[in-house]
């Protein structure tokens, strides 16, 4: 019976870690982002060019893949030495990546030879990417710590709700209940 309370207990522990050690959590996020960007860049470099026939589009893919690899390596290397600046580093790296991605999308948009309906999707994506980059550059450096601590509080609240629900929905068994034989 006690094992059903293990998930709420682990959820509460994760919440406490997020409340008490937001810097370490942010460093883990930044390193995970770096690994993702590194793998994404390698994938772009080695798989996408064979699907494109136009050299200018291949160059855009090479630039985007190379940039993704470089920024991914920065995300992996920098948080190890500079734990307190990890959130700001992640926001700047994501902002730079979003700006470069928007520039490459604009380049692709100009080179496209499809109808206006397909181009409309690209325009929305370009505008969204540019707005996202601007927001990333404007976020304060302590925003990440606040966000992680709020998430930690939510995890603790979820753990309490889980424990209450488990307690309310438990099987009620009377140990010494009389048994009638008929």
Over residues 108-139, the pLDDT tens digits come to 777 766 666 667 777 887 888 888 888 877 87
**Predicted confidence (pLDDT) at residue 84 exceeds the cutoff of 60:** no
Q: Pick the residue with more confidence: 144 or 130?
A: 130
Domain ranges of the chain: 2-168
* Residue with more model confidence, 9 or 179: 9
- How far is it, in rounded angstroms, from Cα 123 to Cα 168? 52
85: CB partners within 8 A, 6+ apart: 78, 141
pLDDT band of residue 157 (cuts 50, 70, 90) is very high
- The pTM (predicted TM-score) of the whole model is 0.57
User: How far apart (Å, rounded) are the C-alpha atoms in residues 48 and 51?
Assistant: 6
| pLDDT value for 150 | 87
Q: For tokens 């798989």, name the residue.
A: 47
User: Each residue of 18-43: pLDDT tens digit?
Assistant: 888 877 777 787 788 888 889 988 98
Structure-token pair, residue 11: 């959820």
Closest CA to 8 of 180, 158, 175: 158
Within 10 Å of residue 139's Cβ, how many Cβ atoms? Answer: 17
H-helix or E-strand spanning residue 170: none
- Output 107 or 52, whichever has higher pLDDT: 107
Task: Give the residue, 103 or 1, on which the prediction is more confident.
Answer: 103
pLDDT (0 to 100) of residue 81? 61
Place of tokens 């019976």: 1
Region of 177 (left: φ > 0; alpha: ψ -120 to 50; beta: rest) is: beta
pLDDT at 179 over 80: no
Crossing angle, helix 6-20 and helix 22-47, to 10 degrees? 100
């Amino acid at each position: 019976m006690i094992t059903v309370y293990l998930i709420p207990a682990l959820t509460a522990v994760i919440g406490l870690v997020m409340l008490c050690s937001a810097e370490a959590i942010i460093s883990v996020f930044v390193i995970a982002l770096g690994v993702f960007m590194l793998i994404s860049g390698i994938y772009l470099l080695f798989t996408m060019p064979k699907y494109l026939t136009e050299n200018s589009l291949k160059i855009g893919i090479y630039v985007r893949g190379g940039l993704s690899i470089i920024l991914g390596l920065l995300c992996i290397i920098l948080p190890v030495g500079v734990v307190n600046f990890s959130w700001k580093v992640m926001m700047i790296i994501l902002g730079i990546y979003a700006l470069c991605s928007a520039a490459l999308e604009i380049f692709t948009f100009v080179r496209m030879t499809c109808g206006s309906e397909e181009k409309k999707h690209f325009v929305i994506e370009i505008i969204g990417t540019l707005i996202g980059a601007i927001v990333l550059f404007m976020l304060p450096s302590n925003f990440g710590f606040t966000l992680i601590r709020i998430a930690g509080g939510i995890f603790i609240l979820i753990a309490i709700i889980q424990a209450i629900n488990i307690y309310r929905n438990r099987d009620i068994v009377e140990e010494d209940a009389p048994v009638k034989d008929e």
